Amino acid sequence: MRGARALVLGAGGQLGRALMATAPEGVSATGVTRHECDISNPDAVRQCVAECDPAWVINAAAYTAVDDAEDVPDTAFAVNADGPRYLAQACAASGIRLLHVSTDFVFDGKTGSPYATDAVAAPLGVYGDSKWRGERAVAASGANHVIVRTSWVYAPSGRNFVLTMLRLMREHKVVRVVNDQTGAPTLSRGLAEVCWSLVRHPEARGVFHWSDAGAITWYEFACGIRDEALSLGLLTAPVSVEPIPTEAFPTKAKRPAYSALDASGTVATLGVAQRPWREGLRDMLGSLAMQGGV
């Protein structure tokens, strides 16, 4: 009997850890890491799903090294496109409900306004393209599914912009951050709670968007990190944050210039409100301060 069993793939990542920490009362969540289940291996996926026999599966497993993906496209497509297809097929065959996590990078960033869930995808690089193909594979599988696109995810641990900025601000008196790429930060814990609500919602179908509230640039995000970190004692001295154009910080992969997501459908479906990004940041940094910093 499946009961209220759930399988979380990618449990070692920052969202996966948040999903395991926020599993609703009464839900028995089994988390597997990429080392325990390689989703690019169809046999491993089928075995993992069969052994857990869950009612719900949340796929937080992904290849997320955006720039590295340009050099190893086969790896990115194997994890981000083939993996979700194998997982969705396994879920469809057994009548299991699937929630698959995707990204704002499926868009090219040329609209200048928040992307609706039915906006035309036009990824700029390998990472975005691989995630878009993964979305399409899930949608075509016949599985009872939800796809959640999100952006700029961060957590108290792992590799993310907030922790990188804290490290750089402790090492340098000046940090330079791009000021012509706009999006919305998303605290992993809040995203995890929304994922649980959606996967367990009997009427939720198709694509949903989620982020914290407020479209800002990376520069504005960095300024917020500095100010909150100073107020909490995570930084001992002021740091100058200088805005720069994308051209001054070249990367292998192109980033969308504007990738804020319209989450109104999620808000309406779940009856929840998006939290202001600064509040989420303050809480996350506050938890770091309580733990003695990073």
Q: Could you report the average pLDDT of every consecutive run of 10 residues in the chain (294 residues)?
A: 85 96 94 94 95 96 96 97 97 96 97 95 97 98 97 94 96 96 97 97 95 97 97 93 94 94 97 96 92 68
Residue 256 and residue 181 in contact, taking contact as beta carbons nearer than 8 Å? yes
Question: Is the residue at 232 inside a domain?
Answer: no
Domain boundaries, position 91: 5-159+184-214+259-276
Q: How many domains does the chain have?
A: 1
Let me know if residue 171 belongs to a domain.
Answer: no
Q: Would 164 be classed as within a structural domain? A: no
Q: Which residues are catalytic?
A: 127
Question: Is residue 220 in a domain?
Answer: no
Q: What is the pLDDT of residue 294?
A: 61
SS3 helix, strand, coil % of the chain, rounded to 5? 40, 20, 40
Radius of gyration over every alpha carbon of the chain, rounded to an integer in angstroms: 19
Residue 221 belongs to a domain: no
**174 domain residue, yes or no:** no
Q: Do the bridges between strand 216-217 and strand 182-183 make them parallel or antiparallel, or are there none, so unpaired?
A: antiparallel
Give the pLDDT confidence score for residue 3 in this predicted structure. Answer: 67
Q: Which contiguous run of DSSP H or E holds residue 165?
A: helix 161-171
User: CB–CB of 82/136 below 8 Å?
Assistant: no
Q: Looking at residue 101, which CATH number applies to its domain?
A: 3.40.50.720
Give me the helix-helix angle, 126-140 and 83-94, nearest 10°: 10
Residue 227 lies in a domain: no
Residue at 123 is within a domain = yes
CA separation, residue 232 to residues 224, 235, 283 (Å)? 12, 8, 10
Looking at the whole model, is its pTM more than 0.75?
Answer: yes
